[in-house]
Amino acid sequence: MTQNRIKSQEILPILDLARACSLCENLPLGPKPIFQLSPKAKILIAGQAPGRKTHHKGIPFDDPSGNRLREWMGIDRNIFYNEAAIAILPMAFCYPGTGKGGDLPPPTQCANQWRKKLLNLLPNIELTLVIGQYALDWHLGEQQASTLTETVGQWREHWPRILPMPHPSPRNNRWLKNNPWFVDDVLPELKKRVASLI
């Protein structure tokens, strides 16, 4: 009891500061940090950055990408949004704006300021789902292959603690069609692993 109280006293100030962060005050829609975190979580979703819809809703992955991700994990919304089970910590917490090819990259100052501090609040993580190139660069670094497809294809090298993944966006339907092994081989293992941790 006392240890939990002490931990909470240490954790809350950092979370409050991160949720009130205005480091990127020049963003098109302004700063609005969106993440989900509890030191009890055993699964971490390491994504890119919130999109425009997420910015307005204030709920991570509350879109078609999230529906597909939950399907891949074999869980429903209640489990997905239970912070004591699943932490969601993108590389940047705020919507970065849109460029010619879609959303802009996550601003690096967010990860520089917050990522290590918040990851240190997650001592019980047993599985990290690494989604997208910027998250792969942070979590796998030089352990990556030359392409995302090759990195995901070598998933067993990092399993069962880390799973490199394609983004669950509908924009990746062609990738999924061209790489049926991901659905056939990887997802059954992911579902079993998630089920064992929640």
Sign of CA dihedral 184, 168, 87, 61: negative
pLDDT for residue 100 is more than 90: no
C-alpha to C-alpha distance for 129 and 74, rounded to whole angstroms: 14
Give the per-residue pLDDT at 182.
97
Contact 47, 88 (CB under 8 A): yes
| CATH code for the domain in which residue 84 is found | 3.40.470.10
DSSP state of 58: -
Dihedral angle over CA of 133, 136, 141, 146, nearest 10? -50
| Beta pairing class for 102-103 and 127-131 | unpaired
For residue 135, give its domain range: 2-197
What pTM, to 2 d.p., does this model score?
Answer: 0.90
Higher pLDDT, residue 53 or 189: 189
Q: Pick from 50, 46, 45: which is nearest to 33 by CA?
A: 50
For residue 77, what pLDDT band results from cuts at 50, 70 and 90? Answer: very high
C-alpha to C-alpha distance for 61 and 25, rounded to whole angstroms: 23
Total domains present in the chain: 1
C-alpha to C-alpha distance for 186 and 180, rounded to whole angstroms: 10
Reported as a single tens digit per residue, the pLDDT across 2-27 is 344 435 556 678 898 999 898 888 88
Give the per-residue pLDDT at 54.
85
Give the per-residue pLDDT at 10.
63
For residue 15, give the amino acid letter: L
Contact 93, 110 (CB under 8 A): yes
Burial of residue 34 (number of CB atoms within 10 Å: 0-12, 13-18, 19+): buried
C-alpha to C-alpha distance for 168 and 67, rounded to whole angstroms: 9
Reported as a single tens digit per residue, the pLDDT across 134-172 is 999 999 999 999 999 999 999 999 999 999 999 999 989
Alpha carbon distance, N-terminus to C-terminus of the chain: 22
How large is the average pLDDT for residues 44-65? 90
- Element of type H or E holding 164: strand 162-165
* High-pLDDT (> 90) share of the chain, %: 69
Residue 135: strand, helix, or coil: helix
Contact 131, 168 (CB under 8 A): yes
